[in-house]
Amino acid sequence: MKTSGTSLVPARWAPFRIEPNFVTRVWGHRDLRPWFDHVSAGDPVGEVWLTGDQCSAATGPHDGETLGRLFELSPHSLLGEHAPALDSPLLIKVIFAREKLSVQVHPDDRLAHKAGQPRGKTECWYALAADPGAQVAVGLKPDSSLESVREKIASNTLERALRILQIHKGDMVFVDAGTVHAIWPGSVLLEVQQNSDITYRLYDYGRPRELHIEKGLEAAKVETRAGKVSPETLSDRTVLIDVEYFRIEKVTVKESISSDHLRDPHAAGRPAGLSYLFAAAGAGRISGPGFEAFDLAPRSIACVPAASPLFEVEDLGGLDLIRIEPKWPA
């Protein structure tokens, strides 16, 4: 398939691949193969940040420049003219848990603003893989109260108050701000979240790390919208989740697909905005007039700026393409 039409947009803002950032965590792994060709000689790696501000462009004219710097230099080229904020709206990670993460909670926008932070942290998890019996903890049991949560923290029994979900490959779990939650071993998760790293730990299994009980209880909500999300199957894609901060789709690529067919089919008439293309499996190639083509290896991600010229994505074999688009609440 050839990309139709021509573009007067400079190739300076063509799609580009992003170099990941490997972030150490006490509960992570030292060897991330076969997911990533990375073996840590030091502390274990628990999170691979795909779009963090310290991640850098790996192709194109911005090769070597960090995302944080690019958003600072030209936010409208990346986000579009109508974005209400001018920094990177989403943080996208792959989570590798060898041990249980802390039981934690994140503040919503209102509470984050009260603390002088630009935004809260609503997130979701897409299971790239899951062992038989893999579980996550999402929310509190119906009979819980914040006072009972405090008591269970003191008695080291907080897990008894958590709502446990069995997780399988392909599951999408929504975790809105205020949800008490924990990721447990047995799965590899693609996490998409508001670009905030505010975490309040309520319980940490005896690890010598700081807890944030008072702030966490202030942020925690007894009832939230968290839980598994049923996919919506359309003719050319599957919508995995569509909420106020992000829309995530699995897009069907039959040999190749043009950029004008990648966008949300309901977005006709709306100005183009930022999106990301993640190769959950298989490989692809992104090419178009005026810029050098580049490959998407498995688990790599490309940034598609709002000012991008037309392009196409070619399936090089087994491409499982995830499209991630930031949104802003009305």
User: How far is the C-alpha of 86 from the C-alpha of 96, rounded, in Å?
Assistant: 30
Catalytic one among 12, 160, 163, 201? 201
User: How far is the C-alpha of 238 from the C-alpha of 293, rounded, in Å?
Assistant: 27
CB atoms under 10 Å from CB of 242, counted, come to: 15
Q: Could you confirm whether 201 is annotated as catalytic?
A: yes
Report CA-CA distances (Å) from 314 to 1, 185, 236.
9, 34, 15
Radius of gyration in angstroms for the set of CA atoms belonging to the chain, rounded to a whole number: 20
Q: Is the dihedral of CA 210, 213, 219, 220 positive or negative?
A: positive
Nearest one of 67, 179, 201 to 120, comparing CA atoms: 179
Beta bridge partners of 275: 304
**Residue in the block written with tokens 């090419």:** 287
Give catalytic residues, as residue numbers: 201
